[in-house]
Structure 1
């Protein structure tokens, strides 16, 4: 987190520097870009050149070679060989369906027309994959020193979402990234950014000890270089957008951006979660996923463009080189509106036979990739499926069992509306926080904003702990572009109303060195249970326990548990999560190891000098 903040601060400082002194900024960026290559070339020159110099010295001076010379020559050569092997990264063609020459003449002719119009270098191929995206793939030869191979990647969902003019805008944008739209220097910097990410992947997967040493340097260098080149990279995005607008017009380019934003939110917010939810009841992934995906993307439901732009602006990632949607459209000088949808570009440019063939291949690839996760989800829901069968077999279920039935139906039968089941359960259990919570969310999503908000307020009144998950649900609803205006307004008002309660809970359940800490008040039985739980994790050597002084005496306690963790840092997070899930302390608890919170660790030890647990104490 601290590293992320530092890089963001550096990027902001460099934005100011680029405005004040653009030439100095570009010079420093060029020198930094060359540094990464210079180190590699320098190491290669030393490791391979030194043995040659030694052998030349022997031959010129007629010296008699001894065993020590063999070591002096072989060791650098071995070093150089390991370095070459570690850096000999083969970048294959991007994954997907690679179009053969003249296999899709309409698409290939349109791509070639746009390539020439933008002034991009020749392509080595076009790849169709299953993403709602397009990309300019630059595959470096010898770390880019011998040039690049250029591939255009087009997602089949993208081609099915957009019409031909909108797809042309996206393709022109990607060709802008190949360099012509950026100028020689900025195009080179853009390719360097992409190359170093691939170099990092290659080093990480090479398996050589020396490559791991280099990886440490480049793990620092690449993020630093990214922060330095961020200003230029964001400018590149605007230039690529300008290339798109110049090629097909600002109206089509803006419409493509809006349709992409809307499609991505529909897929990630609704389509994919519902598909994966089917794994709880269905033991195999669906056969024709891309046909379903295309229908979801072509949903003609009305959308409020103003609200979509507001959502997109709110969700801009400060580390993303892509500017926000409103900023991109404004920079093109276009109006933010959707054009009437034309025929799908996929059908027009690929033809029905090739489209069906590509769909089949992508469907098979998706099923193979998702099958392990699907089986895991299906197995995890076995108890719920068995319990649903039992509850549905009851002749006279109790009120609690009817509520359980509603919950199980919502979890397992994604095509059924569970709202009536929750309403019936509420008639018998008017004080059930769970029933109010689930019924409220369903009502809010289903166009009954006032009822949904009332139900959710009641759920929080019955169970204050529901605030945290509810705030997360309301944030997700606020990002749903298909939520009606009344629902969006109700979700926003409820979030603002409940946010202070959530912040109060977070403050209560947090721990810092400024907190007033007290000795724990656990009795002997509770301490014995804690020690038994800690003994189940072999990497814990000692533990100290205190509690936080609460503002209200009747508030549930919040404990702070410091661990002497003897395992690797890599496994620390997963081990702590398992431990937190297993702990049965009253109230809430903060568990930490002190590896990154030393001041709090010292504070805890001052209050609790003697550990409450030592290994082999149980």
Structure 2
């Protein structure tokens, strides 16, 4: 889509069409869905069919020509092979803990009971992950041409927070998406939407020229198909709600689950996780049983639950989410959210049994291992900040130091202590400091003061690297205030920024005769580490290193290393990959040899001058 406004106009037009001419809308949607498959199949059939046609024609005209023009026959075959490789994307099943047969038998029996009642197809597996969510994941076989494998994904925090009746209604809703809730056509469109986006993401990770060709097509097609099918996707959610109400004996259980999930999401992201961040500043080690703690926090009531529920009922998701707003879903279910009482026994306790503490331990240990380094660095940073505050408190401070002192002290002040007047004065005296505008802008927005936007935009002008985070913050601010036009303008800025970043990233890794290079500029320590890595690989004779000149707005350095091999190398791609795995540089980098790009390699070598590494020296 060209813009947010164009997408909104298209969706609104299609909403009217779906009501006034539902059959015609579905025909158009089906034709658009088939267009994507036609492009894939047509590319393969055309490529291989051309080769077969040439062979048949040459054999019919003069068989002797076939030997002389064999290379001509190979050209479409090579093209077809490149297309096939570009599209041969393995889409993995959802991440998480996959239940083995017979494991958590009560949960598996309950899921199977609900699946049969909902009329959904058989499952390939049940996966438990760490999200406060549930999902029906369909993994396509050969891009969906050979059907799909279906998985049910259940978040452990969700199971810890809901009763068995509420979880059953949520599971029935997810099964509604797999065919029981909105018919064969709706289920097919639901899976096609997911398949195109997952294919596009996989193609974006590829660098082959054929992948780029399809990436450009699906870069247009997938968002357009998403907008075209948005109307049906929203109806699919309501249809899945209806089947959940039928399976669970009424809509109240699902209504309670929906309301409770919205409340608990606010509780986690506005209460539990900020408190966890604060803990990183106070204790040197992360907690050992995070997911046990999350379960306890979700089960117990909170004084702000009613406030978070009111916010969820008032929230309008616009065109960014195919789920209708909570109030619309509750109205369709003809139900009101009941008081958020703590369940006497959670679904996790009842259905997982002895597996529950083991999952809490496994997920907690994985999380702990992943955050350990960052947690320790955060704790040490806070200790250093305390020391710096003590130094600044005893000194006569310049305007810059005064702002630094306020920013550091603000990290340790209680939330109800108002630092805003001093912060505004300090930023006015030192307007060139990025951190001041970021803190002041965020503080004003937290107070629902739109004046904070100017400070965040000033921070964006001072440092382009914060553009994405600033625009996301502004989008959330305008959405929360119901200022949808302003939110769409910010979203359009964000999408344009994303496009620019993608182009910068593509230029970063694209090799062109127009590329310019600079000396590598590595420190002695970084250079010594690089040489040690090159020595450990063993088959590099010499290596040259340069920095690539990037365009305006690019973040960080990009290095190019040219290597000359020592001895015979049977697989250049594997040898280059070993180097990539062994090397660490303070930025992104590429490693190449002169096998494919001799002129480019010669220019790089001339610019680099002396090698950074020569074996034996």
TM-score by length of 2: 0.67
Aligned to 1:606: none
Distance 1:124 1:465 in 2: 48
Distance 2:287 2:64 in 1: 74
Gaps in structure 1 of 5+ consecutive residues: 395-400, 438-462, 475-494, 512-529, 535-565, 580-618
Aligned to 1:469: 442
Q: CA deviation at 1:269?
A: 1.7
Cα 1:503–1:411 shift into 2, 3 Å:
closer
Q: CA deviation at 1:406?
A: 9.4
Aligned to 2:175: 175
Matches within 5 A, 1:321-360: 321-338=322-339, 340-342=341-343, 343-351=345-353, 353-360=354-361
Q: CA deviation at 1:90?
A: 1.5
Matches within 5 A, 1:425-440: 433-434=422-423
Q: CA deviation at 1:292?
A: 1.7
Q: CA deviation at 1:267?
A: 1.1
Aligned to 1:555: none
Distance 2:438 2:213 in 1: 47
Distance 1:384 1:508 in 2: 25
User: Any conservation in 1 of the 2:138–2:149 contact (CA below 8 Å)?
Assistant: yes
Is 1:273 matched with 2:279?
no
Q: CA deviation at 1:156?
A: 0.3
SS in 1 for 2:205: helix
User: Any conservation in 2 of the 1:47–1:76 contact (CA below 8 Å)?
Assistant: yes
- 1:349-388 alpha-carbon deviations (Å, 9 max, x no partner): 001x311111122122223444465456456546314325
Distance 2:140 2:352 in 1: 29
Is 1:261 matched with 2:262?
yes
Cα 1:58–1:2 shift into 2, 3 Å:
closer
Distance 2:364 2:439 in 1: 39
Distance 2:385 2:161 in 1: 37
Q: CA deviation at 1:202?
A: 2.0
SS in 1 for 2:69: helix
Size of the alignment, in residue pairs? Answer: 464
Gaps in structure 2 of 5+ consecutive residues: 395-400, 427-435, 465-499, 508-549, 557-617
- 1:125-156 alpha-carbon deviations (Å, 9 max, x no partner): 00000010000000000110100000000000
Distance 2:415 2:119 in 1: 56
Aligned to 1:570: 504
Q: CA deviation at 1:209?
A: 1.6
SS in 1 for 2:201: helix
Q: CA deviation at 1:207?
A: 3.1
Aligned to 2:98: 98
Distance 2:129 2:325 in 1: 25
Q: CA deviation at 1:316?
A: 1.9
Cα 1:184–1:279 shift into 2, 3 Å:
same
Distance 1:470 1:49 in 2: 64
Aligned to 2:160: 160
Q: CA deviation at 1:287?
A: 2.3
Cα 1:10–1:290 shift into 2, 3 Å:
same
Matches within 5 A, 1:12-161: 12-65=12-65, 69-161=69-161
Distance 1:137 1:507 in 2: 39
Matches within 5 A, 1:466-505: 468-474=441-447, 495=448, 498-499=449-450
User: Any conservation in 1 of the 2:48–2:77 contact (CA below 8 Å)?
Assistant: yes
Distance 2:132 2:150 in 1: 20
User: Any conservation in 2 of the 1:406–1:418 contact (CA below 8 Å)?
Assistant: no
Distance 2:34 2:245 in 1: 33
Q: CA deviation at 1:243?
A: 1.3
SS in 1 for 2:146: coil
Cα 1:281–1:69 shift into 2, 3 Å:
farther
SS in 2 for 1:337: coil
Cα 1:376–1:467 shift into 2, 3 Å:
closer
SS in 1 for 2:122: coil
SS in 2 for 1:128: strand
Q: RMSD of the alignment, in Å?
A: 4.0
Q: CA deviation at 1:278?
A: 3.4
- 1:505-527 alpha-carbon deviations (Å, 9 max, x no partner): 8999999xxxxxxxxxxxxxxxx
Q: CA deviation at 1:322?
A: 0.4
Q: CA deviation at 1:272?
A: 1.7
SS in 2 for 1:232: helix
Cα 1:181–1:409 shift into 2, 3 Å:
same
- 1:423-459 alpha-carbon deviations (Å, 9 max, x no partner): 9xx9xxxx9624999xxxxxxxxxxxxxxxxxxxxxx
Distance 1:108 1:280 in 2: 41
Cα 1:64–1:224 shift into 2, 3 Å:
same
Q: CA deviation at 1:577?
A: 9.6
User: Any conservation in 1 of the 2:445–2:453 contact (CA below 8 Å)?
Assistant: no
Distance 2:86 2:183 in 1: 32
Q: CA deviation at 1:45?
A: 0.2
